[in-house]
């Protein structure tokens, strides 16, 4: 009789544990998101700020923050998931696409992440997203701009940042605008002064696409592209490339470079005493604190950007978040950190809408999400991903900016020169030369 009683008691206890265990398993306390960035190597500078941006966004989402007019700052954690907090697991891809793919597999199988954010280098985003697509794990990309990434018809990939086709078109609009006197502070420039252009782009997925976009737009806008060079971002010497470019006597020099090669390009141009009328860099390396250490040497250099601190003039949250960022990290938000922040923010909104960590629920939420522009630090109209057409997963409400480095009171600042109606200062033209 006692043995039977003991048996029943044991079974009941076991059932009880099972039931309560299931209850605990229902609401996760922690949502793991894998973040893959170049934390070491030539783009480590970018990796650092990307990480900072993502961490700040996670902190704001996980806590109740005063003074930031964003939905995710109002409460702590993901409300539809019982206040679960976001936990970021960072991995370093070192700029290597194969390593990135391996790290993604590890994050999915070992760390069991709910989703992935990354990877900055378009070449790494390409392979990592392929892994995610295979395993059915959602991935949000915040800062890779090769247009090809959203033309693959992937069902588990979403990109918040506008891509290079947008940005390169902005550049040509600026060039034409210069000739029409639309640029603040510059009288109409005769066309032949900037008609000859040269380009030098790093040769992986990102740079090579920018290079071909420049070729296409040059034809469309009828500029003379005298030289189009692809080079290795890891190359320690760019003097032969620069020599060839200068031989074409260009009016405008266009670059797509990561950090260390952007610095090397400018130093090489300086040592060869180059004097083009205009230098433009496709963000990335040209928008980093390390690059800005070149100080007065880069005054006049134009960069495509997605975020400048002066955006705070038109967007309140941008100023609020920038103040927090500056307090924590000592520098202003830039194109990379702002987009990493926005990428993680997109994750928060998607999770909030999904109300579950089930991949299918997240997929449905991502396809339906519509985040209004006033929630974002970046000057976009919002975040809404295309569901049909040949660019599924691409945010259709993004926008680019073109900034110019200018010295003000002995300090290097970045002023907006495009779009023309958002200009914060007169543009310096021509480039003063080395």
Partner 1 sequence: MEAFWVEILKSLVSGLLMGLVFALVALGLTVIFGVMDIVNFAHGEFLMIGMYTTLVTAPLLGVDPLITLPICGLVGAVLGVISYYGLVKYLLRGPVIAQLFGTFGLMVFLRNLALLFMGSEPRILHKGVLVGKSFVVGPGLVLESTKLAAAVLSLASFYVVWWLINRTRLGKALTATSLDRQGARYMGISTELMNALAWAIGGASVAIAGGVLVNFWPVDPNVGLLFTMIAFATVALGGFGSIRGALFAGIIIGFIVQIPPVWDAALGLLGLGGGDAISLHPFKYTFVYLIYFIIMIVRPQGLFGWKQ
**Least gap, CB of 225 to partner 1 (angstroms):** 4
CA distances from 144 to 238, 282, 283, 388, 412 (A): 25, 12, 11, 21, 26
Residue 314 DSSP symbol: T
**Least gap, CB of 149 to partner 1 (angstroms):** 23
Q: Report the residue number, 68 or 294, with the smaller CB distance to partner 1.
A: 294
**Least gap, CB of 94 to partner 1 (angstroms):** 8
**Least gap, CB of 104 to partner 1 (angstroms):** 21
Burial string for 190-199 (b: 16+ CB within 10 Å, else e) reads eeeebbbbbb
H or E stretch at 321: helix 316-329
Q: What does DSSP say about strands 252-256 and 196-202: parallel, antiparallel, or unpaired?
A: parallel
Q: Is the peptide bond before 419 cis (omega within 30 degrees of 0)?
A: yes
Sheet holding 30-37, edge to edge: 85-92, 30-37, 115-118, 139-141, 157-159
Supply the angle between the helices 205-220 and 164-179 in degrees, to the nearest 10.
40
Q: Please state, in angstroms and rounded to a whole number, the distance separating the CA atoms of residues 203 and 210.
A: 10
CA R_g for the chain: 24
3-state secondary structure of 415: strand
Q: Report the residue number, 20 or 232, with the smaller CB distance to partner 1.
A: 232
Q: Is the peptide bond before 430 cis (omega within 30 degrees of 0)?
A: yes
Residues 6 or more apart from 191 whose CB is under 8 A from it?
179
**Least gap, CB of 165 to partner 1 (angstroms):** 18
**Least gap, CB of 76 to partner 1 (angstroms):** 36
Q: Report the residue number, 164 or 241, with the smaller CB distance to partner 1.
A: 241
Q: Report the residue number, 243 or 390, with the smaller CB distance to partner 1.
A: 243
Supply the angle between the helices 205-220 and 122-135 in degrees, to the nearest 10.
110
Q: Report the residue number, 41 or 398, with the smaller CB distance to partner 1.
A: 41
Q: Report the residue number, 89 or 248, with the smaller CB distance to partner 1.
A: 248
**Least gap, CB of 296 to partner 1 (angstroms):** 12
Two tokens, residue 101: 């793919």
Q: Report the residue number, 74 or 234, with the smaller CB distance to partner 1.
A: 234
* DSSP secondary structure string for all residues of 164-216: HHHHHHHHHHHHHHHHTT-STT-PPPPHHHHSEEEEEEESSHHHHHHHHHHHH
For residue 341, which of 384, 376, 316 has the smallest C-alpha distance? 376
Q: Please state, in angstroms and rounded to a whole number, the distance separating the CA atoms of residues 288 and 30.
A: 32
**Least gap, CB of 299 to partner 1 (angstroms):** 15
**Least gap, CB of 355 to partner 1 (angstroms):** 42
Q: Report the residue number, 63 or 98, with the smaller CB distance to partner 1.
A: 98
Q: Report the residue number, 20 or 240, with the smaller CB distance to partner 1.
A: 240
Q: Report the residue number, 226 or 284, with the smaller CB distance to partner 1.
A: 226
Is 97 within 8 Å of 126 (Cβ atoms)?
yes
395 strand-pairing partners:
385
Q: Report the residue number, 219 or 316, with the smaller CB distance to partner 1.
A: 219
Q: What does DSSP say about strands 278-281 and 252-256: parallel, antiparallel, or unpaired?
A: parallel
Q: Which residues in this chain contact partner 1 in the complex, by CB under 8 A?
A: 40-42, 44-45, 199, 203, 215, 218, 225-232, 236-237, 239-241, 243-244, 247-248, 260, 263-264, 267, 270-273, 293
Is 300 within 8 Å of 402 (Cβ atoms)?
no
**Least gap, CB of 49 to partner 1 (angstroms):** 13
**Least gap, CB of 200 to partner 1 (angstroms):** 9
């Amino acid at each position: 009789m006692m043995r039977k009683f003991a048996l029943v008691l044991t079974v009941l206890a076991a059932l009880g544990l099972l039931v309560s265990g299931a209850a605990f398993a229902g609401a996760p306390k922690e949502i793991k998101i894998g973040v893959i960035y170049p934390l070491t190597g030539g783009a480590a500078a970018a990796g650092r700020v990307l990480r900072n941006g993502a961490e700040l966004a996670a902190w704001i989402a996980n806590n109740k923050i005063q003074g930031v007019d964003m939905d995710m700052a109002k409460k702590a954690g993901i409300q539809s998931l019982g206040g679960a907090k976001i936990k970021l697991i960072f991995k370093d891809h070192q700029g290597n696409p194969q390593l990135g793919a391996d790290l993604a597999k590890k994050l999915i199988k070992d760390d069991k992440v709910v989703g992935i954010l990354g990877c900055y280098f378009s070449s790494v985003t390409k392979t990592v997203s392929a892994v995610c697509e295979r395993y059915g794990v959602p991935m949000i990309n915040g800062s890779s701009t090769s247009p090809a990434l959203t033309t693959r018809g992937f069902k588990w990939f979403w990109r918040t940042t506008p891509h290079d086709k947008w940005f390169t078109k902005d550049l040509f609009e600026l060039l034409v605008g210069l000739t029409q006197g639309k640029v603040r502070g510059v009288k109409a420039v005769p066309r032949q002064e900037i008609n000859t252009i040269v380009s030098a782009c790093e040769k992986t997925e990102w740079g090579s696409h920018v290079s071909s976009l420049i070729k296409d737009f040059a034809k469309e806008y009828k500029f003379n592209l005298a030289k189009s060079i692809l080079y290795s971002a890891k190359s320690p010497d760019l003097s032969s490339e620069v020599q060839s470019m200068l031989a074409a006597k260009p009016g405008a020099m266009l670059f797509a470079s990561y950090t260390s090669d952007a610095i090397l390009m400018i130093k090489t141009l300086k040592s060869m005493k180059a004097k083009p009328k205009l230098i433009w860099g496709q963000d990335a390396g040209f928008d980093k604190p390390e690059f800005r250490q070149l100080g007065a040497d880069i005054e006049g250099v134009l960069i495509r950007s997605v975020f400048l601190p002066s955006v705070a003039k038109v967007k309140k949250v941008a100023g609020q978040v920038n103040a927090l960022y500056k307090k924590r990290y000592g520098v202003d938000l830039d194109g990379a950190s702002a987009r990493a922040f926005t990428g993680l923010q997109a994750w928060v909104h998607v999770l909030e809408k999904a109300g579950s960590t089930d991949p299918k629920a997240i997929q449905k939420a991502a396809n339906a999400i519509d985040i209004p522009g006033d929630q974002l630090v970046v000057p976009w109209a919002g975040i809404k991903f295309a569901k049909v057409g040949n660019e599924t997963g691409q945010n259709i409400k993004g926008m680019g900016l073109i900034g110019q480095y200018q010295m003000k009171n002995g300090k290097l600042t970045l002023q907006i020169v495009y779009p023309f109606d958002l200009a914060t200062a007169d543009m310096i033209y021509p480039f003063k030369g080395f």
